[in-house]
Structure 1
Amino acid sequence: MAIRVTALLPEHADQVLAIYRAGIDEGNATFETEPPPWQAFDAARLPEHRFAALGEDGTVLGWIAVSRVSDRNAYAGVVEHSVYVAPTARGRGVARALLDVVIASTEAAGIWTIQSGIFPENAASLALHQRAGFRIIGTRERVGRHHGAWRDVVLLERRSLAII
């Protein structure tokens, strides 16, 4: 399957939010229970570090985006990312292609740490991130409630070797 990674644009909004919805519905991707309206999604993510993976026909196969972790100057080089792949496109290298592009774009911008919180039940995502150079920092136990149950989150980070 040919994958083309491009900037995530407003014209991708419906497909991006549908992929986000699929991740929400599966129950092991996020604490969110509804995808946000596009305007909120757009405002919460850094425009220079969000990408869509497109299939040959232009269909969005997956997306990745980063957000600031803090407005404090000391954390200017630290971002949190999310990566989602359409259920029909999983296992084909889409998430890895997206991770590689966001790693390159953040390093070029002087960002030294990318972090992510992943439910421990999401073994595929944990393995993918470790293959991409992320390391497990630890588990935040019972950090939030999700559908009435306490959930743990594994905190991962990737430190840039080019900057540090």
Structure 2
Amino acid sequence: MTAPFVRPLGEDDWPAVEAIYREGIDSGHATFESSPPTWEGFDAGKHPDLRIVAVDDSGVLGWAAASPVSGRPVYSGVVEHSVYVAATARGRGVGGLLLAGLIDIAERHGIWTIQSSIFPENIASLQLHQRHGFREVGRRERIALMGYGPEAGVWRDTILVERRSALWPRDGNVRSESSG
């Protein structure tokens, strides 16, 4: 069996991506969404260059994708992302492979901030993000009412995490090499 690797996520991957997304939804600790979107909805909402799958000989093991947080030009380098790993592939480094791949592609496309909201109960995701340079920005208490599953009717907290690119200066002033 070949080692897992990442490649761009395309429409042909949608059945596997949708099934993995549904597994995450069914866990009750991955998203507020109660069902996956259609391919057209997914495709329209994601940055076209920031969506990947991890695959091996058995097929798609997981996926990662990012969406712009705003259409305003000042936020052009800020995205919100998701990482989902199939239940059968968890604990094999697939999440790390996906997150590292997404970070690499995002930086090559001028993204300076990658963020996500994670349920505090999703310890594995919080630890994964910390290992990849994300920091906890804050806790959003009772940010939304869960509409499905065992947590239906419960106001849920999320942890906001972000990763700032090392390629962008912390003071926000992008300088060319000639601007001393």
TM-score range, shorter chain: over 0.9
Measure the CA separation in 1 of the matches of 2:82 and 2:111: 16
Identity of aligned residues (%): 56
User: Is residue 149 of structure 1 aligned with residue 154 of structure 2?
Assistant: yes
User: Where in structure 1 are there 5+ consecutive unaligned residues?
Assistant: none
Residue 28 of structure 1, CA deviation:
0.2
Q: Distance in 2 between matches of 1:40 and 1:88?
A: 26
**Residues 77-156 of structure 1 correspond to what in structure 2 (within 5 A)?**
77-146=77-146, 147-156=152-161
Task: Return the offset for 1:2.
Answer: 1.2
The alignment covers a number of residue pairs equal to 163
**Partners in 2 of 1:141 and 1:75 — Cα distance?**
24
How many angstroms does 1:158 deviate by?
A: 0.1
> Aligned-pair distance for 1:47?
1.2
Structure 1 position 73, deviation (Å): 1.1
TM-score w.r.t. the length of structure 2 is 0.89
Name the amino acid aligned to 2:86. Answer: A
Q: Look at both structures and tell me which one has the larger radius of gyration over its CA atoms.
A: 2
Q: Cα offset for 1:74?
A: 1.0
Distance 1:128 1:114 in 2: 14
Q: In the alignment, what sits opposite 1:161?
A: 166
Paired residue for 1:61? 61
Residue by residue, what CA displacement relative to the aligned partner does 1:31-58 show, whole Å, maximum 9, x if unpaired?
A: 000111111011100110100000123x
Conserved in 2, the CA contact under 8 Å of 1:54 and 1:61?
yes
Secondary structure of the corresponding residue to residue 161 of structure 2? strand
Q: TM-score, normalised by structure 1?
A: 0.97
Q: Which runs of 4+ in 1 moved over 6 A?
A: none
**Where do residues 32-43 of structure 1 align in structure 2 (5 Å cutoff)?**
32-43=33-44
Q: Is the 8 A contact 1:107 1:163 kept in 2?
A: no
